[in-house]
Amino acid sequence: MSYNNILESIDDNILTITIDRPKKLNALNRETIQELHEAFKEAKNDEEVKVIIITGSGEKAFVAGADISEFADYSPKEGKKLAADGQEKLFNYVANFPKPVIAAINGFALGGGLELAMAAHFRIAAENAKMGLPEVSLGVIPGYGGTQRLSQLVGKGRAMEMIMTAGMIDANQALQYSLVNHVVEIDQLLEFAEKIAAKIMKNSTVAVAAAIKAINANFEDGVNGFETEINEFGRSFGTEDFKEGTSAFLGKRKANFPGK
């Protein structure tokens, strides 16, 4: 499918989605959010896609936030709908995506940009990355899951400070905060993400999907994560991948997972 605001490329089972509005620092307007939703939805059913890397066009920005020009005159009701629709269509969709999603943060990841990176399963930052949730400087709060996911990732006190000050942290501070897993030079960013993707793809895709579900269960209200783990663990025993994985180990050979 072709889009106006995002680019897609697939190589060795890795789909790279690049948000491509560099003149607006890749800000997320409604159309971009819709296109991202469609791209993820398509990737879900595409057997060729095993891992997704999400990044921004150019070196200056991953995503500099939700597109402020689109919501500047919204009413409270419209604001609420904006957050609810965005969370459902994109941010929760990415967080619960059954295939690994890695955010490769090149430059500014602010507001909705950091929220998108936090919805991904983990993050790698380029040395020039700058991250923050500056919404209170605009008289609003993060609405795409930022108050929840930032607290989960960096802890309550740090999230409180980052959100209340509307400040930015650099890549090394983000690493220290466990907001990102790795910091690399910008020209190594995608290659580094692809290396991790390749490691993931050696494993069972069905087991990886089950692991995403079980880990996410820890952060869902009213869900017992340990129970989810027990259920997903049990379900694994019925998969072809489990039979292949265990028999390959016992037969002292490399597993060749069918992904079923």
Q: Which of these segments, 22-30, 89-97, 202-210, 227-235, binds ligand COA (CB under 6 A)?
A: 22-30
Residue 56 in contact with ligand COA, rule: CB under 6 A: no
Q: Which of 9, 69, 96, 181 binds ligand COA (CB under 6 A)?
A: 69
Residue 165 in contact with ligand COA, rule: CB under 6 A: no
Q: Which of 86, 100, 134, 245 binds ligand COA (CB under 6 A)?
A: 134
Please confirm, yes or no, whether 220 is among the known catalytic residues: no
Q: CA 18 to CA 54: how far, in whole Å?
A: 6
Q: CA 250 to CA 204: how far, in whole Å?
A: 16
Q: Which of 110, 159, 162, 193 binds ligand COA (CB under 6 A)?
A: 110
Shortest distance in whole angstroms from residue 184 CB to ligand COA: 21
Q: Which of 67, 194, 232, 241 binds ligand COA (CB under 6 A)?
A: 67
Residue 20 in contact with ligand COA, rule: CB under 6 A: no
Q: Which residues contact 185 (CB under 8 A, 6 or more apart)?
A: 126, 127
Please confirm, yes or no, whether 135 is among the known catalytic residues: yes
Q: For binding to ligand COA (CB under 6 A), which residues are involved?
A: 24-25, 27, 64-69, 108, 110-112, 134-135, 138
